[in-house]
Structure 1
């Protein structure tokens, strides 16, 4: 059997590099992408979105951009009663498919922080998080329903006076809102003004440190004289 020369080894280098990169990418995948076995089906809405959008790739159950950020998640037919603790890793997703799962009825609190979500595919018996008013369009099919176009409820007249005077309303997921304090305000109902007192903090810390150091020095000096 002929041995490989230096040229033959160099020819294998690109394959080795590609293999290492593939292993590294697999190890770096968020847990939610590999929570369910298999990969995204070619005919799924997530696969279609990923192929139509430039610079996106399918890895396991996720559609990722070049930075590894999740923009699509397909967990259909995974026997899920709830999306699980790793679901928050997909809060950057634009499209999520959860069809063909025995999901619990109320998903309202599951989507905290999912402000980018625009398309959500669910089993027909499930309810769009936030209800109909949280979405521009809810379409029902034979076995699924699709919630599309997340509404910004901060612009709705149904939620007046949600935030205090020194705060402003911001979306926090489908049907969810949060109040963001204005610059210079913090605390309960954004009523506390001023920033963290750094000078006072470091002044007290410095004085305490000097006092302890002086006490220890005096103690050691007395012990030395007694000896």
Structure 2
């Protein structure tokens, strides 16, 4: 008879399996470099931490708040001596909220965010504006395309289904076979031409 108060090995299996699942998910999602650009982690009372903890699907890792797909939703770089956020800053183009050092401006400038709050040592950029709604140019995107946000202060034109090419004017799916066929035959022709030219020069000398 087993002693009371001791868990049987079988009762530990679900907990161990859950732990292994969490660890495997975290390893599968490569942490973007911008999240660990500054040492330390997001402070508990940070607006990014509060936002992240308020949504069950989000999780804090280093300086970032990520969704289950590993996409950056929040970035906290306060208490970080940065003058320039560096080339990895573009990884946070999906962020809904950012806390940045005083010398680092909100990406896309003030007009790209609904709220920009300045503090003594940092600034907070909240809620990216959808430029597709604010632009007054009806010809911004072609007839067969639609406007879509592409980061702070940026937008892109996405072709409707069944259209592709310049200004989405070509109908039908993009033929990869034709593209690589033309590319391959062109490369082969140039290679043969160069080989023949070099061979003639070698014989002449």
Question: Is the shorter-chain TM-score for this pair beyond 0.5, marking a shared fold?
Answer: yes
Q: Structure 1: how far apart are the matches of 2:69 and 2:147? A: 30
SS at match of 1:98: strand
Q: Quote the residue 1:176 is aligned against.
A: 154
Q: Equivalences for 1:110-121 in 2 at 5 Å?
A: none
Tell me what 1:56 maps to: 58
Deviation string for 1:71-109 (max 9, x for gaps)? 322222333333333334434433222225x43xxxxxx
Question: 1:30: how far off?
Answer: 0.8
Structure 1 counterpart of 2:114, from 132, 136, 152: 136
Asked whether the 8 Å contact 2:65–2:73 carries over to 1, the reply is: yes
Q: Is the 8 A contact 2:114 2:128 kept in 1?
A: yes
Deviation at 1:157, TM superposition (A): 4.9
Unaligned runs of 5+ in 2: 1-5, 186-205
Q: What is the SS of the residue equivalent to 1:137?
A: strand
**Secondary structure of 2:115's match?**
strand
Q: Runs of 4+ in structure 1 displaced over 6 angstroms?
A: 13-23
Q: Give the conservation status (yes or no) of the 8 Å contact 1:153–1:159.
A: no
**Per-residue CA shift, 1:191-217, capped at 9, x if unaligned?**
22332347x84xx89xx9xxxxxxxxx
Q: 1:31 to 1:134 in 2, by over 3 A?
A: closer
Question: Normalising by structure 1, what TM-score?
Answer: 0.57
2:83 is aligned to 81
Native 8 Å contact 2:81 2:101 kept in 1 = no
Q: In structure 1, the residue corresponding to 2:39 is in which secondary structure?
A: coil
Q: 1:186 aligns with which of 164, 175, 189?
A: 164
RMSD: 3.8
Distance 1:186 1:80, change over 3 A: same
The alpha carbon displacement at 1:17 in A equals: 8.1
Asked if the contact 1:70/1:92 (under 8 Å) is kept, the reply is yes
Cα distance in 1 for partners of 2:148, 2:45 equals: 35
- Return the alpha-carbon distance in structure 2 between the equivalents of residues 194 and 22 of structure 1: 43
Equivalenced residues, count: 172
Q: Structure 1 stretches of 5 or more lacking a match?
A: 1-6, 104-125, 209-227
The answer (yes or no) to whether the contact 2:98–2:124 under 8 Å persists in 1 is no
- Structure with larger Rg: 1
- 1:19-30 alignment, distance < 5 Å: 25=26, 29-30=30-31
- What is the DSSP-based 3-state SS (H/G/I as helix, E as strand, rest coil) of the residue aligned with 1:30? coil
Distance verdict in 2 for CA 1:162–1:61, change over 3 Å: same
* Equivalent residue, structure 1, for 2:96: 94
Instruction: State how far apart, in whole Å, the 1-side matches of 2:52 and 2:128 are.
Output: 19
- With normalisation by structure 2, the TM-score equals 0.62
Q: Is residue 36 from structure 1 mapped to residue 34 from structure 2 by the alignment?
A: no
